[in-house]
Amino acid sequence: MVTHDPLRFVSGLGAKLATRSRHVCTFFGAGTSKACGLPDIAQLQERVLASLNNDQKTLLTLLLKGRNLEQGLSRLRRISALLDGDQTLDNFTAQTALDLDLAICQTIIKELDISNANHTPSRYFAAWLARTNYHTPVEIFTVNYDLLLETALEEMQVPYFDGFIGNLRARIQTDLVETRPGSEAESIPAFFSRLWKLHGSVNWAWEDDRQIVRVGQPIHNEMAAAIYPSDTKYEESRRVPFLVLQDRMRRAFHQPETLVLVAGYSFGDAHLNELIFDAAMRRERTEIVVFCYSAIPDILADRALLTPNLQVLGNQEAIIGGVRANWTEAEEDCPGIYEQNSFLLGNFSKLAEYLAKSTSRDFDNNIRLENILKLAAGIQSLGAGE
């Protein structure tokens, strides 16, 4: 009976991550933030509905039939753009659509407050970035709106570029985002990690000219956050950051010798799925490793069985090299990686810790990592006490 050896796979992955010539990317979904104690999309939807008044709750419930919260928000913005004056569509006027949009965004910002989150996983991830030394920058793609990654990167003093330039009201710099990954013409140094927030952020806001700006903190209650792109053609300028960042993801995944680590993503976005699957299919030297918290989604399994460089790791089974099989039962547990016959790296907390320790070459480095994390925890405790 064919099985996959979890320790052998992890050892091979560590060797690939140690190769400095690799172009390493990560792609994170809501599961990574959930590992830090924040709600995922389904939980956000429940909390948004609970926060609305009766009229708004009724309107949103009808709007969400057959849609998740992000899709409903996109539909709501289409309605708002199409209506004028007292015109109605799906029981909305332009004003009621705008009011509901604002109410949804306010609840999302509140629920994604990271002050009480568990920052350890994101700090481990940032600690790994702090000690990487690749020839081309590590690129972090995420559909999460929260500020966990930004906070961890700053605590660990990891320089990064997110596509915006400026401190008070930063604006997207399309020319810098569109530069080919690793090209000599790239203006941002390679030791700067790239953080690409594909669906916006709680600190992105609409300016009066309908451009998106990034501010230092989550936006004020009277403003609507620039989260999740509408899929319509209206006001094209509003959508520029989303389109540019998705194109960056496509080009990054098509770079030679690219290793992509996917975590916390449920493969519920058809457009992003195709970006991932297309890169695996068309670029045989791109290797995509997907860490699943539990069972492997059918849509992912179907593609992985046909695409050897798309490797999928569930807690009980894996698809490696196009072969689907259970994990080999280990004679003894490997703490943090494989315990009680279950593969653990689908949990972002375990994956981030593995990455942080994968760059440790000796005992002193492990002590340094512990000291960095303790320092970051002290900084957060000090901020909470002020």
CB 133 within 8 A of CB 253: no
Taking only the tens place, the pLDDT of each residue in 51-89 is: 999 999 999 999 999 888 888 888 898 888 888 888 998
pLDDT top residue among 362 and 339: 339
Q: Would the pLDDT of 185 be above 60?
A: no
| Local confidence band at 234 (pLDDT 50, 70, 90 cut-offs) | very low
CATH class of 3-37+117-377: alpha beta
| Local confidence band at 228 (pLDDT 50, 70, 90 cut-offs) | confident
CB 198 within 8 A of CB 272: yes
> What is the pTM (predicted TM-score) of this model?
0.89
Per-residue model confidence (pLDDT) at position 233: 40
Compute the average pLDDT of residues 308-315.
97
Q: How far apart are CA 347 and CA 121, in angstroms?
A: 10
Residue found under tokens 């568990």: 118
Per-residue model confidence (pLDDT) at position 384: 52
CB 81 within 8 A of CB 234: yes
3-class secondary structure per residue, 34-84? HCCCCCCHHHHHHHHHHHCCHHHHHHHHHHCCCCCHHHHHHHHHHHHHHCC
Q: Would the pLDDT of 150 be above 80?
A: yes
| Local confidence band at 232 (pLDDT 50, 70, 90 cut-offs) | very low
CB 185 within 8 A of CB 159: no
Compute the average pLDDT of residues 322-341.
92
Exposure b/e, 273-307, CB count within 10 A at least 16 = b: bebbbebbeebeebbbbbbbbeebbeebbebbeeb
Taking only the tens place, the pLDDT of each residue in 99-113 is: 998 899 889 999 999
